[in-house]
Amino acid sequence: AQSVTQPDIHITVSEGASLELRCNYSYGATPYLFWYVQSPGQGLQLLLKYFSGDTLVQGIKGFEAEFKRSQSSFNLRKPSVHWSDAAEYFCAVGGTGNQFYFGTGTSLTVIP
């Protein structure tokens, strides 16, 4: 069965510091992978997606993620965090039948 694990419930970083959010997935075939961001009281917004090809994908707002098949991971990174990046981040995997499975999320706090 498909599943997504985000090991870090909450992360705090200083503004300007680098960021890495972890995501591990379980899926039988080549997965389609996504990162979404959710600000308080808002819906989810797509940051980036991986379908195939280059394993390093670029997204909006300066985010990138790297697909590592051997580690079943799709970690999200940003070289320099801004205060406006404080939000909840969700990793998701798309499977057969157009079903999407989400992780439990990582809450990001940015310290000025």
Partner 1 sequence: EAGVAQSPRYKIIEKRQSVAFWCNPISGHATLYWYQQILGQGPKLLIQFQNNGVVDDSQLPKDRFSAERLKGVDSTLKIQPAKLEDSAVYLCASGQLRAGGRGELFFGEGSRLTVL
| Residues that bind partner 1 in the complex, under the rule CB under 8 A | 4, 6, 32, 34, 36, 41-46, 49, 51, 90, 93-105
Q: Which is nearer to partner 1, 14 or 99 (CB)?
A: 99
Q: Which is nearer to partner 1, 37 or 110 (CB)?
A: 37
CB of 48 to partner 1, least distance (A): 10
Q: Which is nearer to partner 1, 34 or 63 (CB)?
A: 34
Q: Contact at 8 Å (CB) between 67 and 74?
A: yes
The answer for residues whose C-beta is within 8 angstroms of residue 71's C-beta and 6 or more apart is 24
- Report the alpha-carbon distance of residue 36 to residue 107 in Å, rounded: 12
| Residue count of the chain | 112
At residue 39, what are phi and psi to the nearest 5 degrees?
-85, 155
CB of 10 to partner 1, least distance (A): 10
CB of 41 to partner 1, least distance (A): 7
List helix spans (H) across 31-77: none
CB of 52 to partner 1, least distance (A): 9
Q: Which is nearer to partner 1, 24 or 101 (CB)?
A: 101
